[in-house]
A and B are shown apart, each in its own frame.
Chain A
Amino acid sequence: MMEMNMVQAINAGLHQEMAADPDVVVLGEDVGRVGGVFRVTQGLHEAFGEERVIDTPLNESGILGTAIGMALYGLKPIPEIQFADFIYPGFDQLVSEAAKYRYRSGGEYTVPMVVRTPFGGGIKGGLYHSQSPEALFIHTAGLKVVCPSNPYDAKGLLRASINDPDPVLFFEPKRVYRAVKMEVPTAPYEVPLSQAAVVRPGTDVTVVAWGAMLYEALAAAEQVAGDDQIEAEVIDPRTLWPLDLETILESVRKTGRLVIVHEAPRACGFGAELVSLVCEHAFVHLQAPPRRVTGFDTPFPYALEDDYLPLARRIVPALRETVGF
């Protein structure tokens, strides 16, 4: 065990996977000598050489398209998109190509790649360095969407994603990158995909949050526990899609209430799907309308990011109102 932040944990995981399997390659803008703009790939270039840690031309469609070709050949590419906001030039390669390859080839061809990308706000990055586009990819059949919230999960989920035979989008909450430290095993381990974690047990209301917003949900839960004697059960899905719905349903059947917290805009966000699923499968257990505490349906604002983000101060009233309904 060693105390690590998320950058260090992912970096250690990449080192281990590349050392164990010569088919694992990393590619992207500045991932080589510099080690990525967030230094997540630092040291890989020296350890594994420029043929496996590839500094690419600046073209996201090219990065993702060539990674797809590598995966089709039998490699396990891990392309990095420098910010999730820059994924749109490569969107077609992800949704039309990576996501569809297994289906359109009757299962003959597969694209086992892991697209790593930092996402979310809270670092004063403005509207081109703060977006949370996870819903676009959850909506795309054939893609898996993973979002760790802490260093331990990040390293374990990364290994599980690399070993998964399908294309995985691995959203890394950059606000958490260096803000959270915890004990992480130095030996390889997996956190299985599609298994949610009950991060805080509770009886009165279920809160589902992921990425950096998990910490806001936990802070809100602590506040209402002290102020209002409301015990919120906080769930981190960890893998957003395919979802571990059963853990969420089990919680809602117990608490009878649901609050969802996410950074992305509300309209057609993943929260909308979660509400629908809970209503379809556990409607009779609900004692209050499900609530969403989310970003706004605007571009991400630079100067007002603390007002845009669903911080604990916006979650607390939602918990009170839901329990008091």
Chain B
Amino acid sequence: MPRARHLASVPANERVTSLDERAWQRRRSPSGQTSELPTQVPRELKLRLYRAMLLSRRLDERLMALQRQGRIGFHVGHRGEEAAILGAAAALRPQDWLVPCYREFGALLYRGAPLSAYLDQMFGNDADPAHGHQMPDHFHSKAHRCLSVSAPIGTQLPHAVGIAYAARLKGKDDVALVFFGDGATSSNDFHAALNFAGVWRAPVVFACRNNGYAISLPASKQTASDGFACKAVAYGIRGEQVDGNDALAVYRATRDALEAAAAGEGPTLLELVTYRLDAHSSSDDPRFYRSDEEVAAAMAQEPIARMQRALFETGELDERADEALRNAVEAEITEALRVAEERPKPALDTLRKDVYAHTPWHLRGTT
């Protein structure tokens, strides 16, 4: 069952309770049955969303394998979090802004960014939009209104508020959707951003992917409050907890929050409760801090199988079409990887490009 509530409408004495392990388990273990509102979302959108989730899943698996073979330097994926990320991305309108954390490459691809450009960035080749300046998975695309990934945690949150403020000042109804993990809620910039957004009534949607862990630390080491959505209350904005493994529930919640923001009703904090099936990144080993049993239990609730079941139940997809879809995704990835890996490294002079608009004297020359 999707768990969603507007905390601002909850009586004050019920808003914040202690972090209860049973409640936490309930959130992490939704029913795993059908998705919410299956008849209210067009089939075309559902299939596009499902395909994007499949593509992201296979990309994660293929890229992690490439990293283990030493063919790319790093990967931080979103295996298990496809519903949280792509469900939200599917709600974005073209004029809205995507402000990523680092796991949201699927959202960028969903917006129409070429797979080749993402993989060029992963390989840091001469076609990389970032000119080889950033490590893998630190992507951006101005054409798709996607800001650039930063490694310090939470720094992108105030940027989203600034984007939203600027849009309103310019008379536009653009909304900024900013992603971050549960760990980022401990950062100074999380509190600054929610506070500024609340005071300014900025059209911004905060999407917290509560995937259970910040590297090795469980969510209970990040907060003593009852999840993360309740933190919205302190900033005078809406907060909603959503079953982050249900792509259509995430889509609906994000769509509602975007519409509210665009209508001048201010920001929303969404807590998308999900689970990180893989390590934090290719540099992490989760066997140090969680059990195989826990991961197996989470795997039983993973979002792609749930979406598949829902589509099978409604008859919007059958096994044959599903297999064709998976084969097409595989072929697309294989070809794009081949092309990206064969490209050469960036030219040496890109080292000094883009520090400033014009290259000053001290960046010219060889020493």
Q: Which of B131, B148, B199 contacts A57 (CB 8 A)?
A: B199
Q: Which of B108-116, B329-337, B353-361 contacts A (4 or more CB under 8 A)?
A: B353-361
B362 within 8 A of A: yes
Residues on the A chain within 8 Å of B141, using CB: 108
State whether A109 touches B147 (Cβ < 8 A).
yes
State whether B129 touches A106 (Cβ < 8 A).
yes
- For the complex, what is the distance from the CA of A164 to the CA of B189, rounded to whole Å? 27
- For the complex, what is the distance from the CA of A96 to the CA of B150, rounded to whole Å? 8
State whether B354 touches A103 (Cβ < 8 A).
yes
Encode B39-50 as 1/0 by CB contact (under 8 A) with A: 000000000000
State whether A242 touches B354 (Cβ < 8 A).
no
Residues on the B chain within 8 Å of A25, using CB: 169
State whether A102 touches B356 (Cβ < 8 A).
yes
Contacts A102-B357, A106-B130: A66 and B150 contacting too (C-beta < 8 A)? no
- For the complex, what is the distance from the CA of A256 to the CA of B197, rounded to whole Å? 57
Residues on the B chain within 8 Å of A96, using CB: 150-152, 155
Encode A38-78 as 1/0 by CB contact (under 8 A) with B: 00000000000001100011010110111111111111010
B160, B170, B353, B355 — which one has the most chain A CB atoms within 10 A of its CB? B355
State whether B192 touches A92 (Cβ < 8 A).
no
Residues on the A chain within 8 Å of B176, using CB: 69
State whether B148 touches A109 (Cβ < 8 A).
yes
Encode A72-106 as 1/0 by CB contact (under 8 A) with B: 11110100000000000100110011001111111
Residues on the B chain within 8 Å of A110, using CB: 357
State whether A105 touches B142 (Cβ < 8 A).
yes
Contacts A52-B169, A65-B162: A166 and B188 contacting too (C-beta < 8 A)? no
B103 within 8 A of A: no
Q: Which of B2-10, B62-70, B132-140 contacts A (4 or more CB under 8 A)?
A: B132-140
Total inter-chain residue pairs, C-beta < 8 Å:
146
Q: Which of B134, B158, B188, B356 contacts A66 (CB 8 A)?
A: B158
State whether B199 touches A69 (Cβ < 8 A).
no
State whether A73 touches B157 (Cβ < 8 A).
no
State whether A70 touches B166 (Cβ < 8 A).
yes
Q: Which of A57, A89, A92, A105 contacts B195 (CB 8 A)?
A: A57
Residues on the B chain within 8 Å of A68, using CB: 158-159, 162
A282 within 8 A of B: no
State whether B195 touches A69 (Cβ < 8 A).
no
B243 within 8 A of A: no
Residues on the A chain within 8 Å of B165, using CB: 66, 69-70
Q: Which of A61, A102, A107, A141 contacts B192 (CB 8 A)?
A: A61
Q: How far is the CB of B353 from chain A (nearest CB, A)?
A: 7
Encode B161-184 as 1/0 by CB contact (under 8 A) with A: 111111101100000100000000
Q: How far is the CB of B85 from chain A (nearest CB, A)?
A: 21
- For the complex, what is the distance from the CA of A197 to the CA of B163, rounded to whole Å? 38
Contacts A66-B162, A68-B159: A51 and B169 contacting too (C-beta < 8 A)? yes
Residues on the B chain within 8 Å of A142, using CB: 355-356
Q: How far is the CB of B167 from chain A (nearest CB, A)?
A: 6
State whether B356 touches A59 (Cβ < 8 A).
no
The chain A residue sitting closest to B202, CB to CB, is A66
B119 within 8 A of A: no
Contacts A73-B166, A73-B167, A74-B166: A108 and B355 contacting too (C-beta < 8 A)? no
- For the complex, what is the distance from the CA of A193 to the CA of B96, rounded to whole Å? 36
Encode A92-132 as 1/0 by CB contact (under 8 A) with B: 11001100111111111110000000000000000000000
- For the complex, what is the distance from the CA of A105 to the CA of B130, rounded to whole Å? 5
The chain A residue sitting closest to B152, CB to CB, is A96
- For the complex, what is the distance from the CA of A67 to the CA of B169, rounded to whole Å? 13
A291 within 8 A of B: no
State whether B196 touches A104 (Cβ < 8 A).
no
Residues facing B in A156-197 (CB within 8 A) are 164-166, 194
- For the complex, what is the distance from the CA of A96 to the CA of B138, rounded to whole Å? 14
State whether A72 touches B356 (Cβ < 8 A).
no
State whether B355 touches A103 (Cβ < 8 A).
yes
B193 within 8 A of A: yes
B240 within 8 A of A: no
Q: How far is the CB of B190 from chain A (nearest CB, A)?
A: 10
Residues on the A chain within 8 Å of B148, using CB: 101, 104-105, 109
B82 within 8 A of A: no
B128 within 8 A of A: yes
Q: Which of A56, A57, A166 contacts B356 (CB 8 A)?
A: A166
- For the complex, what is the distance from the CA of A52 to the CA of B168, rounded to whole Å? 11
The chain B residue sitting closest to A97, CB to CB, is B155
B151, B167, B356 — which one has the most chain A CB atoms within 10 A of its CB? B356
State whether B140 touches A104 (Cβ < 8 A).
yes
List 16 additional contacts besides A65-B189, A69-B161, A96-B155; criterion CB under 8 Å.
A25-B169, A59-B195, A62-B158, A62-B195, A65-B193, A69-B163, A69-B166, A71-B162, A72-B163, A74-B166, A93-B189, A104-B140, A105-B354, A106-B129, A108-B141, A141-B355
Q: 10 interchain pairs (CB within 8 A)?
A: A51-B169, A59-B195, A62-B161, A68-B159, A70-B162, A75-B166, A102-B355, A104-B133, A109-B142, A110-B357
Residue numbers of B with Cβ under 8 A of A are 128-131, 133-134, 138, 140-142, 147-148, 150-152, 155, 157-167, 169-170, 176, 188-189, 191-193, 195-196, 199, 353-357, 360-362
Residue numbers of A with Cβ under 8 A of B are 25, 51-52, 56-57, 59, 61-62, 64-75, 77, 89, 92-93, 96-97, 100-110, 141-142, 144, 164-166, 194, 242-243, 245
Q: Which 3 A-B pairs have the closest CB atoms?
A: A69-B162, A65-B158, A62-B192
